[in-house]
């Protein structure tokens, strides 16, 4: 491993895993952490508690479809939702750079409050630190969240089984592409917006109707490709994706095409990958499509016994290729 | 910007029909060996899963068409040197950031505090110079004829703005001389070139006339969608079978015979051809682009006194052979064992257009999934 932390170590892909494996896991490791799920689930007397934390460092702070405030609420709610939990309380920590406009801070906190209210969670504790100009980039937010996991719910990245279907609740790569285009001032035709949204009502409805759901995972940094690789490794199964079935907005596909990027690796903030027995797939799809956040839900792949630890894509023209985990930040090409 | 009508060129049914046609045409022919020059083709072929579908008699080898990959070790080291100079902002395209020089990469220098910026176009670097009047902005100009006109435009723009703190370190290269260099080495036994679509939109199909005239080598300028590639291959097979080598354009929706003359003129106004060293191919006369004397004030190689750097290329790295099409990445002893995208030993593993990176990422016997790995 490198002697210094590189930006790649924060990409959510291979390098991030390496950093966790080499630095954090050996020193902080315990069974909860080693489960490598979006939240830790702890058995307390009479309750199962889910606990998670996430930091938000997005540039720009405001982007089409959201801002760092709503994102900090949705992201942590979603991490709880992915363990099957009903989110209850959040905490929020702010690191502010000297010189930040108070009006900007206010608008972001207002958006946070709105997002929390809409999602039915309360921000119950907070912290603020200010660092000298140049020691942080405007504003960083950390949120932590707790929730309750209903009895009988048991989902996890290690539970995928051959024969399962892989579903997603809508289009792939919207958030990452929207943020990239805004940050770099690339004006693309169309209306590419972040999909940032709280998924807990969708997941709890799904778990109620289809209690045999094996895995719920939100494909954030590293995108659908990286998240499915994590599931394939944790469950020691192969995953086969169908290119034809992947829901991708034409403007997102176009922007990625021009930049030489792959929507499968672009971040999502309002998407959930659902792995469940094939025979429950239709029921789950019907239910998801009735929910506001699942109108374009699709069956995108299947879990297979071959190729354990790998994700394979069956292409439109009938060929196949490997879909690897993200290695390093996706970089546009030169020609 | 808009991009429509892409799916039409990825139609599964049409692709299968073309594949059948290709197989039928190849049935009674001896094995053929074609080179896709351009890294974008290499990646497109993998991404669409075409490779396993080709007839067994058609072999496609990847060529030197990846700008980052063919950049000589010394030029990479020089780019990194700029980043270590006080008061300098180094700007370049993302692909170059992770390429290892003898000692470090631009990404590693950035982690150590150097001001290295990834930009999407050379004009973004001009903008950086405008915003930072007290600092020198050096743009590392890399890329083939597709990119060079945009860098020329940025230099003209910097001139118009009267910027004193913008310069370009040009390691641009042009493709046709490299194709001739490959053929003159004589050990590749190629039967034709799948010529790059993007580069050809600028230089025009006429740029390959010499390759055909001097070496009798079929050339088909081809687009990057699965149907383009299949049709391009079919045209190559046809030329080869009928022993009628010429320049043909498959990619008619993008490429003309003359190319983009405005871009050619702009390029010629700012740059002049120069000799250049290519990784893997060595010295090739007239294959590089440097700033003309009347633009010398924007030439970073002249504004700074760049020391000559002792280059240490890993002697075990076989990128050079991969770039010549003489070695398949999977046959390199370093491939996947010590050389991975995470810890690249050579540039072909780093660039998103690099042959080794493409094999690592997409080839079915590709990445080691480390099923036992715990993270």
Tell me the pLDDT tens digit for each residue of B70-90: 999 899 999 999 999 999 999
Evaluate whether residue B298 is within a structural domain. Answer: yes
Asked if the C-beta of A318 comes within 8 angstroms of chain B's C-beta atoms, the answer is yes
Confidence category of residue A325, pLDDT binned at 50, 70, 90: confident
Confidence category of residue B130, pLDDT binned at 50, 70, 90: very high
| Average pLDDT of the segment spanning A194-211 | 97
Cβ of B1 within 8 Å of Cβ of A188? The answer is yes
- pLDDT, residue B372, reads 33
A232: nearest CA in chain B? Answer: B371
Cβ of B366 within 8 Å of Cβ of A327? The answer is no
User: In the structure encoding, which two tokens stand for residue A245, read together?
Assistant: 């079935």
Asked if the C-beta of A197 comes within 8 angstroms of chain B's C-beta atoms, the answer is no
> Which of A17, A18, A324 is opposite residue B367, by nearest beta carbon?
A324
Portion 92-121 of A in contact with B at CB < 8 A: none
Cβ of A334 within 8 Å of Cβ of B353? The answer is yes
Of A138-152, A188-202, B157-171, B355-369, the poorest mean pLDDT is in: B355-369
State the CATH number of the domain containing residue B129. Answer: 3.40.50.11740
Instruction: List, in sequence order, the alpha helices (H) in B299-370.
Output: 300-303, 319-323, 355-362
- pLDDT, residue B103, reads 86
Portion 29-58 of A in contact with B at CB < 8 A: 34, 36
The residue among B277, B296, B315 that closes a domain is B315
Distance from CA of A118 to the nearest CA of B (A): 35
Confidence category of residue A334, pLDDT binned at 50, 70, 90: low
Is it the case that residue B374 has pLDDT exceeding 50?
Answer: no
Residues A52-85: tens digit of each pLDDT: 999 999 989 999 999 999 999 999 999 999 999 9
Domain A7-149 has CATH 1.25.40.10: no
Evaluate whether residue B282 is within a structural domain. Answer: yes
The predicted model scores a pTM of: 0.82
Number of folded domains that form chain B: 2
Judge if B179 and B256 occupy the same domain. Answer: yes
A329: nearest CA in chain B? Answer: B94
- pLDDT, residue A37, reads 87
Judge if B241 and B342 occupy the same domain. Answer: no
Evaluate whether residue B168 is within a structural domain. Answer: yes
Dump the DSSP string for B215-257.
H---EEEE-SSHHHHHHHHHHHHHHHHTT---EEES-TTT--S
Helix-, strand-, coil-residue percentages of chain A, each rounded to 5:
35, 25, 40
Residues A82-129: tens digit of each pLDDT: 999 999 999 999 999 999 999 999 999 999 999 999 999 999 999 999
Distance from CA of B114 to the nearest CA of A (A): 13
B122: nearest CA in chain A? Answer: A334
Cβ of A318 within 8 Å of Cβ of B12? The answer is yes
B1 and A189 in contact (C-beta within 8 Å)? yes
| Average pLDDT of the segment spanning B276-305 | 95
State whether residue A296 is helix, strand or coil.
Answer: coil
Evaluate whether residue B373 is within a structural domain. Answer: no
Judge if B204 and B254 occupy the same domain. Answer: yes
Judge if B241 and B294 occupy the same domain. Answer: yes
φ, ψ of residue A96 in degrees (nearest 5): -110, 140
Is it the case that residue B369 has pLDDT exceeding 50?
Answer: no
Asked if the C-beta of A304 comes within 8 angstroms of chain B's C-beta atoms, the answer is no
B93 and B141 in contact (C-beta within 8 Å)? no
> Which of B3, B120, B352 is opposite residue A186, by nearest beta carbon?
B120
- pLDDT, residue B272, reads 98
Q: Residues 6 or more apart from B160 whose CB is under 8 A from it?
A: none
Distance from CA of B369 to the nearest CA of A (A): 5
Evaluate whether residue B367 is within a structural domain. Answer: no
Average pLDDT, chain A: 93
Is it the case that residue A19 has pLDDT exceeding 60?
Answer: yes
Confidence category of residue A189, pLDDT binned at 50, 70, 90: low
Cβ of A316 within 8 Å of Cβ of B226? The answer is yes
A4: nearest CA in chain B? Answer: B111
Evaluate whether residue B300 is within a structural domain. Answer: yes
ipTM reported for the complex, 2 dp = 0.70
Evaluate whether residue B374 is within a structural domain. Answer: no
Judge if B235 and B337 occupy the same domain. Answer: no
Cβ of A333 within 8 Å of Cβ of B373? The answer is no
Q: Where in chain A is the domain with CATH 3.90.650.10?
A: 164-322
Task: For A164-322, give the CATH class.
Answer: alpha beta
Distance from CA of B347 to the nearest CA of A (A): 13
Cβ of B364 within 8 Å of Cβ of A257? The answer is no
Confidence category of residue B281, pLDDT binned at 50, 70, 90: confident
Residues paired with residue B28 on neighbouring β-strands, in sequence order: none
Is it the case that residue A266 has pLDDT exceeding 90?
Answer: yes
Cβ of A232 within 8 Å of Cβ of B369? The answer is yes
- Residue B348 lies in domain: 319-362
Average pLDDT, chain B: 90
Is it the case that residue B16 has pLDDT exceeding 50?
Answer: yes
Residues B143-180: tens digit of each pLDDT: 999 999 999 999 999 999 999 999 999 999 999 999 99
- pLDDT, residue A215, reads 98
Dump the DSSP string for B66-92.
-HHHHB-HHHHHHHHHHHTSTTEEEEE
Is it the case that residue B308 has pLDDT exceeding 90?
Answer: no
Work out whether strand B271-278 and strand B282-291 pair parallel, antiparallel, or are unpaired: antiparallel
Cβ of B375 within 8 Å of Cβ of A21? The answer is yes
Of A255-264, A265-274, B33-42, the poorest mean pLDDT is in: A255-264
Confidence category of residue B371, pLDDT binned at 50, 70, 90: very low
Q: Where in chain A is the domain with CATH 3.30.1330.10?
A: 7-149
Portion 249-268 of A in contact with B at CB < 8 A: 250, 253-255, 257-260, 262
Work out whether strand A40-44 and strand A47-56 pair parallel, antiparallel, or are unpaired: antiparallel
């Amino acid at each position: 491993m490198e002697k210094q932390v590189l930006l790649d170590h924060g990409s959510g892909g291979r390098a991030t895993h390496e950093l966790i494996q080499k630095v954090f896991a050996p020193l902080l490791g315990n069974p909860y952490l080693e489960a490598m799920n979006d939240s830790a689930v702890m058995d307390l007397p009479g309750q199962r508690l889910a606990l998670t934390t996430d930091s938000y460092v997005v540039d720009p702070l405001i982007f089409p479809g959201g801002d760092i405030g709503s994102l900090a609420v949705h992201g942590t709610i979603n991490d709880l939702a992915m363990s099957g939990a009903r989110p209850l309380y959040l905490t929020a920590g702010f690191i502010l750079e000297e010189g930040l406009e108070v009006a900007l801070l206010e608008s972001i906190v207002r958006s946070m409050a709105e997002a929390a209210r809409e999602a039915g969670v309360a921000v119950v504790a907070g912290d603020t630190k200010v660092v000298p100009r140049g020691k942080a980039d405007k504003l960083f937010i950390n949120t932590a969240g707790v929730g309750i996991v209903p009895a009988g719910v048991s989902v996890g990245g290690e539970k995928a089984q051959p024969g399962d279907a892989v579903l997603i609740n809508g289009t792939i790569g919207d958030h990452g592409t929207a943020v990239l285009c805004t940050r770099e001032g690339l004006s693309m035709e169309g209306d590419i917006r972040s999909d940032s949204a709280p998924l807990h009502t969708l997941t709890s409805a799904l778990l109620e109707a289809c209690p045999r759901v094996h895995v719920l995972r939100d494909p954030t940094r590293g995108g659908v490709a990286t998240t499915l690789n994590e599931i394939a490794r944790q469950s020691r199964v192969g995953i086969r994706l169908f290119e034809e079935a992947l829901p991708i907005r034409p403007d997102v596909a176009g922007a990625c095409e021009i930049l030489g990027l792959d929507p499968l690796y672009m971040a999502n903030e309002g998407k959930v990958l659902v792995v469940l027995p094939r025979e429950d797939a239709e029921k789950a799809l019907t239910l998801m499509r009735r929910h506001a956040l699942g109108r374009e839900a699709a069956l995108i792949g299947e879990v297979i016994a071959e190729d354990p630890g790998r994700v394979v894509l069956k292409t439109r023209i009938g060929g196949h290729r490997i879909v690897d985990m993200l290695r390093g930040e996706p970089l546009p090409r030169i020609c | 910007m808009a991009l429509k009508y892409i799916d039409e060129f990825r139609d599964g049914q049409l692709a299968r029909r073309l594949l059948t046609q290709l197989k039928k045409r190849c049935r009674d022919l001896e094995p053929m060996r074609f080179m896709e020059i351009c890294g974008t083709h290499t990646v497109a072929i993998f991404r669409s899963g075409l490779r396993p579908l080709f007839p067994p008699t058609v072999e496609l080898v990847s060529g030197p068409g990846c700008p980052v990959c063919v950049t000589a070790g010394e030029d990479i080291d020089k780019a990194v040197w700029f980043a270590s100079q006080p008061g300098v902002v180094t700007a370049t395209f993302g692909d170059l950031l992770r390429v290892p020089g003898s000692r470090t990469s631009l990404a590693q220098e950035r982690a150590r505090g150097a001001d290295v910026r990834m930009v999407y176009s050379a004009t973004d670097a001009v903008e950086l110079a405008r915003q930072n009047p007290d600092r020198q902005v050096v743009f590392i100009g890399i890329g083939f004829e597709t990119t060079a006109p945009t860098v020329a435009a940025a230099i003209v723009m910097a001139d118009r703005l009267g910027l004193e703190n913008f310069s370009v370190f040009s390691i641009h290269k042009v493709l046709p001389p490299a194709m001739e260099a490959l053929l003159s080495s004589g050990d590749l036994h190629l039967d034709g070139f799948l010529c790059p679509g993007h580069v050809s939109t600028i230089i025009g199909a006429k740029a390959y006339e010499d390759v055909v005239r001097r070496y009798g080598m079929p050339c088909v300028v081809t687009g990057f969608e699965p149907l383009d590639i299949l049709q391009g291959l079919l045209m190559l097979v046809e030329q080869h079978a009928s022993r009628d080598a010429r320049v043909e354009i498959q990619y008619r929706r993008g490429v003309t015979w003359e190319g983009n003359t405005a871009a050619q003129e702009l390029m010629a106004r700012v740059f002049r051809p120069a000799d250049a060293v290519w990784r893997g191919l060595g010295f090739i006369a007239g294959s590089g682009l440097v700033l003309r004397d009347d633009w010398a004030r924007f030439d970073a190689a002249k504004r700074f006194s760049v020391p000559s750097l002792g280059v240490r290329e890993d002697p075990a790295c076989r990128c050079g052979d991969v770039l010549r099409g003489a070695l398949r990445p999977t046959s390199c002893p370093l491939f996947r064992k010590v050389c991975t995208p995470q810890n690249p030993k050579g540039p072909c593993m780093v660039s998103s257009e690099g042959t080794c990176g493409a094999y690592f990422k997409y080839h079915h016997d590709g990445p080691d999934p480390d099923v036992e790995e715990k993270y």
